[in-house]
Amino acid sequence: MRLRCAVLDDFQRVATEVADWSPVRDDVEVVVFDTHIDGEDALAAALADIDIVVTLRERVPFPGSLIARLPRLKLIVASGMRNSVIDYAAAEAHDVTVCGTASSSTPPVELTWALLLGLARGVVEESGGLRAGGPWQRTVGADLHGRRLGLLGLGKTGSRVARVGLAFGMRVSAWSQNLTRDRADEVGVDLAPSKEALLAQSDFVSVHLALGDRTRGLLGAAELALLKPTAYLVNTSRAAIVDQDALLAALRAGRIAGAGVDVFDIEPLPAGHPMRTAPRLLATPHLGYVTRANYATYYGQAVEAVRAYLDGSPIRRLP
């Protein structure tokens, strides 16, 4: 009898299109879920007869309490090689193997610039006005050339965002708790003396940090108050790095010019969530990693992971 493999959150129903599942087709029946399953009880019910789960990024938590309720579960394949919402100890205790896939930093870099440019030039507002027969030109764009781009984080993604900023003729600064001058010099950017100095001096601030104990709530009301009233904030990293209530308050009060956000405290975002109607906000539904090439990697390597597991030699094991 074939094993059953659940592909979670395949909103566009492309998992079986962008990858070749034929290497496991004789052994595995693929079940696609194209809507989000919210809550442990609902997940336990939906996955009761599932042996393998393919999950996108960190969208669906797998705590020990859920894993214990899934006695048939044998393998979890998560896209990316880092996942903070899977209880690895519980998985090991219940003999569940956890594997990952590669993930490109190119898509989030590109989306960061889509949001930043969209904010700077009022693209959504102007396009909406034009299509609705509104007034011809309503906004005055913010220049990038010569302006200061401040980056919180200068890792793989942050450094690539920095190089694009330099190509635009921007002055680029970076800060993180572990950032060294040598690393800043290597990328060709200024090392900000402190987080506070970076926020106060920047015209655009973009977040590129991993979420952890030291970065959770890193930007709260006090930090957002340091931004210029003409400054823009972009977050394509993790929602919890920026205090969501403080950001909403800053946007509503007009204390900053605007924000571009791709990550939220609850995903998918509920219909009545205040982020859906916040002023001065350009928001996208966590599209940072959502490109055809990245999905081909995720699902193609998920198939590889399933095949390797079935053959008794799991690959790219996590953590």
Catalytic annotation present for 267: yes
Catalytic annotation present for 57: no
* CA nearest to 152, candidates 101, 100, 215: 215
Phi, psi at 150, each rounded to 5°: -105, 125
Which is the catalytic residue, given 160, 208, 286, 304? Answer: 286
Distances in whole angstroms, Cα of residue 103 to Cα of each of 14, 207, 237, 258: 17, 19, 14, 29
Distances in whole angstroms, Cα of residue 123 to Cα of each of 116, 169, 273: 10, 21, 23
Which is the catalytic residue, given 17, 267, 273, 316? Answer: 267
**Phi/psi class of residue 307: alpha, beta or left (left: φ > 0; alpha: ψ in -120 to 50)?**
alpha
Which is the catalytic residue, given 160, 223, 238, 304? Answer: 238
> How far is it, in rounded angstroms, from Cα 114 to Cα 196?
26
Catalytic annotation present for 286: yes
Give catalytic residues, as residue numbers. 238, 267, 286
